Structure 1
Amino acid sequence: MTEVRLSSNQRKVVEFEEGPIAVIAGPGSGKTRVLTERIRRLLTKVPGHFRVLALTFVESAGVSITRIDHARSAQGARAQVEQQNYDILILDLVLPANDKSKDARPDVGYELLQELSESGAATRIVGATAHVETIAVYEQGFRDRTEQLLLVSPDSSAWRDSLHALLQQVAAASERPLGHDVDVCFITALKDTEYPAVVNLPVAWEAEKILANYALYRKGTIELDGKLRTVVLANTKQMGMVSACHLTQLLISEFRPRVIMMTGICGGLSAEVSLGDLVVADKSWDWQSGKWTGAGKFSHAPDQKDASRELVVSIKAVESEAPEIAKGLVHLTSPSRQFRIVEGPMLSGSAVVASDAMHEMFVAQHRKAVAIDMECYGVYYASHYAAEPKPRYVCLKAVSDMAGAEKANDYQAYCSALSAAVAVSALKKYFAEVT
Structure 2
Amino acid sequence: MALEILLLEDDPSKKNRLLSLLNSRKELFGQIDTALCTSDAKRMLKSKYYDLFIADVVVPSDLGGEKSEENCIALFEELDDGFDGITCPNFSLPMSSSNELSATAHEFFKGRPWGILPYTDTSDECLDTIEKVARFVLADKERDLDNSSCDIFIITALMEPEFAAIESLGLEWGAFEPLDSSQLLRFGEIRIGDKDYKIAAGFSTRMGPVASAILTVKALLKLKPKLVIMAGICAGIPGKAEIGDVIAADISWDWQSGKYIDKSGQEAFEIAPHQLGLDDQCRNQLLLLKRDKDFWNSLAPMAVRTKVDIPKLILGPMATGSSVLADARVTERIKASQHKNVAGLDMETYAVFAAANACNPKVKVMSLKSVCDKGDVKKNDEYQEYAANVSAATVFQFLKNYVAPLL
Paired positions, count = 270
Q: 2:311 aligns with which of 332, 339, 347?
A: 339
Tell me if the contact between 1:311 and 1:426 (Cα under 8 Å) persists in the aligned partners: no
Deviation at 1:312, TM superposition (A): 2.8
- CA change 1:225–1:362 in 2 (3 A) is farther
Aligned partners of 1:413 and 1:360: how far apart in 2? Answer: 26
Tell me if the contact between 2:246 and 2:312 (Cα under 8 Å) persists in the aligned partners: yes
- CA change 1:433–1:379 in 2 (3 A) is same
> Deviations along 1:127-181, whole A, 9 cap, x unmatched?
xxxxxxxxxxxxxxxxxxxxxxxxxxxxxxxxxxxxxxxxxxxxx9886353654
> Which residue pairs with 1:399 in the alignment?
371
Aligned partners of 1:218 and 1:306: how far apart in 2? Answer: 27
- CA change 1:323–1:402 in 2 (3 A) is farther
> Which residue pairs with 2:155 in the alignment?
187
Q: 2:352 aligns with which of 364, 368, 379?
A: 379
Tell me if the contact between 2:282 and 2:406 (Cα under 8 Å) persists in the aligned partners: no
Alignment of 1:348-363 (within 5 A): 348-363=320-335
Structure ID, larger Rg = 1
1:176 and 2:143 are equivalent in the alignment: yes
1:278 and 2:246 are equivalent in the alignment: yes
Deviation at 1:214, TM superposition (A): 2.5
> Which residue pairs with 1:424 in the alignment?
396
> Which residue pairs with 1:260 in the alignment?
228
> Deviations along 1:73-123, whole A, 9 cap, x unmatched?
xxxxxx9974169xxxxxxxxxxxxxxxxxxxxxxxxxxxxxxxxxxxxxx
- CA change 1:325–1:341 in 2 (3 A) is closer
Counterpart code for 1:293: I
Deviation at 1:420, TM superposition (A): 1.5
> Deviations along 1:57-79, whole A, 9 cap, x unmatched?
xxxxxxxxxxxxxxxxxxxxxx9
> Which residue pairs with 1:196 in the alignment?
164
Report which stretch shifted further, 315-324 or 368-377.
Answer: 315-324
1:314 and 2:279 are equivalent in the alignment: no
Deviation at 1:434, TM superposition (A): 4.8
> Deviations along 1:370-398, whole A, 9 cap, x unmatched?
1000000110001111236x210001111
> Which residue pairs with 1:300 in the alignment?
271
Aligned partners of 2:243 and 2:220: how far apart in 1? Answer: 33
Aligned partners of 1:270 and 1:308: how far apart in 2? Answer: 27
- CA change 1:189–1:407 in 2 (3 A) is same
> Deviations along 1:270-290, whole A, 9 cap, x unmatched?
412111111100011111100
3-state SS of the aligned residue for 2:301? Answer: coil
- CA change 1:278–1:322 in 2 (3 A) is farther
Q: TM-score, normalised by structure 1?
A: 0.58
Q: TM-score, normalised by structure 2?
A: 0.61
Aligned partners of 1:402 and 1:278: how far apart in 2? Answer: 13
Tell me if the contact between 2:184 and 2:202 (Cα under 8 Å) persists in the aligned partners: yes
> Deviations along 1:308-366, whole A, 9 cap, x unmatched?
33223322322343554553673575343111111111011111000011022211111
> Which residue pairs with 2:213 in the alignment?
245
Tell me if the contact between 1:281 and 1:395 (Cα under 8 Å) persists in the aligned partners: yes
Give the unaligned 5+ runs of structure 1: 1-78, 86-171
**Residue identity (%):** 29
Aligned partners of 2:193 and 2:385: how far apart in 1? Answer: 27
Report which stretch shifted further, 251-260 or 402-411.
Answer: 402-411
- CA change 1:434–1:192 in 2 (3 A) is closer
Report which stretch shifted further, 372-381 or 309-318.
Answer: 309-318
Report which stretch shifted further, 344-353 or 175-184.
Answer: 175-184
Q: 1:214 aligns with which of 172, 175, 182?
A: 182
> Which residue pairs with 1:142 in the alignment?
none
- CA change 1:315–1:174 in 2 (3 A) is closer
Counterpart code for 2:256: Q
Aligned partners of 1:432 and 1:209: how far apart in 2? Answer: 26
Q: CA RMSD for the aligned pairs?
A: 2.6
Deviation at 1:425, TM superposition (A): 1.9
3-state SS of the aligned residue for 1:260? Answer: strand
Deviation at 1:415, TM superposition (A): 1.1
Give the unaligned 5+ runs of structure 2: 1-108, 116-138
> Deviations along 1:292-320, whole A, 9 cap, x unmatched?
12121211100111123322332232234
